[in-house]
């Protein structure tokens, strides 16, 4: 049988252990908070801008140099927007498979084959214009042989264009 003194000592020990455990838990939480301060703070959503743009310029009243500068800046913004939107539109419609642009041409891959992405080469500058959307779809080429033949085709087209302009 245990004495009252040993029971009291056990209760005090349990209480002290519980207090130490609470203190340790608090320290752990403080350390965790210190590690994550600045890392996991919620980021406020980016402010949304209106898509409506109103440009009200008195082109007749502006000094000529200012008008030219403003026109140049607007043109630069317009061209940048076109490139961004064109690139976004091209990535939206990409599928897992594509058909080689050079398919069926002399010494190239057979027509009708579908190839898994990514292609050997993509040409965004000389792509074909999609009549439905008006956006340029990139030229995709399957392999090294077709890519070399495609570059030859571009060189021939460039030569014909420059020779035609020279006459």
| pLDDT at residue 49 in the model | 64
Neighbouring C-beta atoms of residue 101, cutoff 10 Å: 26
Asked, for residue 81, whether it belongs to a domain, the answer is no
Q: Which residue, 165, 167, 139, is CA-closest to 153?
A: 139
Asked, for residue 70, whether it belongs to a domain, the answer is no
| pLDDT at residue 25 in the model | 92
Q: Which residues of the chain have pLDDT under 50?
A: 39-40
| pLDDT at residue 23 in the model | 93
| pLDDT at residue 112 in the model | 82
Compute the half-sphere exposure of residue 88: CA atoms within 13 Å on the CB side of its CA: 6
| pLDDT at residue 110 in the model | 86
| pLDDT at residue 93 in the model | 54
Count: domains in the chain: 1
SS3 43: coil
Asked, for residue 147, whether it belongs to a domain, the answer is yes
Beta strands in the chain (DSSP E): 97-99, 114-116, 121-129, 136-141
| Domain boundaries, position 150 | 94-166
**Whole-model pTM?**
0.41
């Amino acid at each position: 049988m245990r004495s009252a003194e040993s029971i009291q000592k056990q209760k005090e020990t349990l209480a002290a252990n519980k207090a130490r455990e609470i203190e340790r838990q608090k320290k752990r939480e403080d350390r965790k908070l210190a590690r994550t301060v600045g890392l996991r703070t919620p980021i406020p959503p980016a402010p949304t801008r209106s898509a409506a743009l109103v440009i009200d310029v008195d082109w007749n009243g502006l000094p000529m140099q200012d008008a030219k500068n403003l026109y140049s800046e607007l043109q630069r913004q317009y061209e940048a927007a076109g490139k961004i939107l064109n690139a976004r539109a091209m990535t939206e419609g990409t599928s897992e498979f594509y058909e080689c642009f050079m398919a069926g041409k002399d010494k190239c891959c057979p027509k009708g084959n579908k190839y898994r992405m990514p292609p050997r080469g993509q040409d965004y500058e000389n792509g074909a214009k999609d009549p439905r959307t008006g956006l340029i779809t990139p030229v995709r080429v399957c392999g090294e042989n077709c890519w070399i033949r495609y570059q030859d085709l571009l060189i021939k087209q460039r030569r014909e264009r420059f020779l035609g302009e020279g006459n």
